[in-house]
Structure 1
């Protein structure tokens, strides 16, 4: 997108928004040095102080890194940075995806085991419902990813740990985006295989098997990140 001259209303905010869009839309790429304060002030038609204020806001959001004597550089976003409501979850890159998958690998096995121990018949039926929806939407990956995500959210709710649920609530959009990226990159075969086995373990009330299967699933998913996402 082309930089536009700024009107006199909310000058600092307008500069900040346009600069943020330059980053989020990929005009300024991770690792790239952005124009100097003087050059940005000239392009926007504003003062250097206004540009500096915008740069400080972008640095606070961890979108920019200012290096003394060198200038400002676009940062590669991590999972924490895209949790800000000011930054779309779609900005999540491979480094952020790796952190999300690390987190899931650490918590989802134990969550699955605890959920299996606590699950009522109604809970199991709801997990079965989400799995059947995954099967029914296997040829339409966005919907498949949505039901995959809902399966995991339901499992976390069954486990009954308020802190885990708070983590999921805070990371809601980021987690949804990560599920979509996984399915887009890898398809649905592994998801159907592991989720079917997990449902079977819940039906048998075998919490040890449920936790082990989820651990296998997360290990396979995490390790495939290096093969599929980074090729």
Structure 2
């Protein structure tokens, strides 16, 4: 017979094991968990222990139950910036400059680690995003260009396989997306100069990806820094 102390120990172990699988990326966001029976067998515990462990992780915001569908990974909970913060990024030159410096710190690191660690599936995902970015640039669809730009940077953070970088990026994704969109719109326009800038940004993202795919960490770092330096130059020149 399992004593209460032993039961609590088993529960704690299962909670930690499931939590680790989520935080380490073994189960990506929106992944459906295996059945209670399968989890009980793989962890060597009862289904009731698995059920209680899942309930604890639901309470922590890492899992969610969907009636009739099962249990799914939520992952990192974005701490969405408030509307005043987003307005500051859109309208305040000092805030946007500070955000660019902030991006230089961790996005160059994300590119470096992605070059070392990106999986084949992650490389394929980045390639697909770049294809959509190229279509958007050539079609002069600024909304889609900005969306694919933000998606590419998010994909790099995931491909870094660094829990802190990935979760940190998720926590400030709204802020970063606003920064990217603001800069893209500032550089947009129906003229040859705006066209050249859009093509330059596309080429810069391609160079980052090429370095990541070639497994060249330093080249990926430098390519990202050159891209963000270009964004900063656009910003300082008023688009």
Q: Does 1:224 align with 2:225?
A: no
Cα gap change, 1:85 to 1:123, in 2 (>3 Å): same
Change (3 A) 1:136 1:86: closer
Post-superposition offset of 1:197: 1.2
What is the CA-CA distance between 1:119 and the residue it aligns to? 1.0
Secondary structure at the counterpart of residue 84 of structure 2: coil
2:221 corresponds, among 187, 205, 211, to 211
- Aligned mates of 1:185, 1:210 — CA distance in 2: 26
Shift of 1:162: 2.2
Conserved? CA contact 2:81–2:175, under 8 Å: no
Could you say which residue in structure 2 is the equivalent of 1:162?
163
* Distance in 1, Cα, partners of 2:85 & 2:235: 22
Superposition RMSD in Å: 2.0
| Superimposed CA distance per residue, residues 147-202 of structure 1 (whole angstroms, 9 cap, x where no aligned partner) | 11010001001112222223322222211111111111124222201011122222
SS at match of 2:230: helix
Q: Does residue 181 of the first structure (1) align with residue 178 of the second (2)? A: no
The residue aligned with 1:198 is 208
1:104-119 paired onto structure 2 within 5 Å: 104-119=103-118
Aligned ranges for residues 52-131 of structure 1 at < 5 Å? Answer: 84-85=81-82, 87=84, 89-92=86-89, 93-131=92-130
Distance (Å, rounded) in 2 between the aligned partners of 1:137 and 1:228: 23
Structure 1 gap segments, 5+ residues each: 1-82
2: CA distance, partners of 1:156 / 1:98 = 21
Aligned residue in 2 for 1:73: none
SS at match of 2:82: coil
Write the deviation string for residues 54-74 of structure 1: whole angstroms up to 9, x where unpaired: xxxxxxxxxxxxxxxxxxxxx
Cα deviation, 1:25-84, whole Å, max 9, x if unaligned, reads xxxxxxxxxxxxxxxxxxxxxxxxxxxxxxxxxxxxxxxxxxxxxxxxxxxxxxxxxx64
Alignment check: 8 A CA contact 2:111 2:212 kept: no
Q: Give the length in aligned residue pairs.
A: 148
Alpha-carbon distance in structure 2 between the residues aligned to 1:140 and 1:90: 23
Residue 205 of structure 1 aligns to a residue whose secondary structure is coil
Uncovered stretches (5+) of structure 2, i.e. residues with no partner: 1-79, 189-197
Q: CA deviation at 1:118?
A: 0.2
The answer for the alignment partner of 1:150 in structure 2 is: 151
Is the Cα contact below 8 Å between 1:198 and 1:210 reproduced in 2?
yes
C-alpha distance in structure 2 between counterparts of 1:166 and 1:200, whole Å? 24
C-alpha distance in structure 1 between counterparts of 2:201 and 2:174, whole Å? 20
Per-residue CA deviations over 1:127-151 (Å, capped at 9, x if unaligned) read 1001101011111111110111010
Deviation at 1:86? 5.3
What is the DSSP-based 3-state SS (H/G/I as helix, E as strand, rest coil) of the residue aligned with 1:228?
A: coil
